[in-house]
Amino acid sequence: STATAAAAAPDPNEKYRQTATAAMEDLVAIATTDQEGWEAVGEQEGVNLFRKNTGGSSVCVRGEGVIPLPAETIFDLVTNTALKGKWDPMFKDGKVLQEIDSEFSITYNSFNAPFPVAPRDFCFASIKRKLDSGVMIACGRSVVHPACPERKGHQRGEVVLGGYYMQPLGPAETRLIYVSQSDLKGSIPSSLKNKVALKQPMQVAQIRDYLMSVKK
């Protein structure tokens, strides 16, 4: 029967959906209930910065701030890879390699690193979802994908979790939480690794400043 045939041939994209969904569940937990182990690092340009010791080679950071714009406006920006270079100064290039469906995709991003460190690139399964509560989420986690071989001159890093949690506080006010846990791989001095990591949560300010600058 058709049903038997379908069962015999599993959806090759299911593992990517599962990876991205697990990342989303972790992001929601960090944004709502999982406050244990986070250390407040300070406040910069209206962004509250936090760091968490993972005990491994990856560094976990979080940034939180309020943006005087609708959550939808922020969601549209952070889910558009073509616009990432407009607001992220570290961004080198990137593209969506595969649109699995309206929520899931496979995405490639590369980032410049301070000399003499090689650029870092990442291949990850992404999810973008609007929850019934009004919260909007865009996040991802690294995967190995046939359309994303390692690239010459780049060091392939690992995104354990990277994403945006957008909580509407009003029609034109949004609490934005950005969480990043990544392993840059290769040989990087730990001081530089920490410096790069603590720049990550400032995406909250970069997104805010870009959107305010283009607001009509």
Given this model, what pLDDT does residue 58 score?
A: 79
Tokens standing for 130? 């609007």
Given this model, what pLDDT does residue 2 score?
A: 59
Q: Please tell me the distance from the alpha carbon of residue 78 to that of residue 80, in angstroms, as a whole number.
A: 6
Per-residue model confidence as pLDDT tens for the chain (216 residues): 555 555 667 888 999 999 999 999 999 999 998 778 899 999 999 999 999 988 777 789 999 999 999 999 999 999 999 999 999 999 999 999 999 999 999 999 999 987 778 899 999 999 999 999 999 999 999 999 999 999 999 999 999 999 999 999 999 999 999 999 998 888 777 777 777 778 889 999 999 999 999 986
Q: Please tell me the distance from the alpha carbon of residue 180 to that of residue 183, in angstroms, as a whole number.
A: 10
Residue 18: φ, ψ to 5°: -65, -40
Q: Give the CA dihedral 31, 35, 36, 38, nearest 10 degrees.
A: 90
Given this model, what pLDDT does residue 186 score?
A: 84
| DSSP single-letter state for residue 35 | -
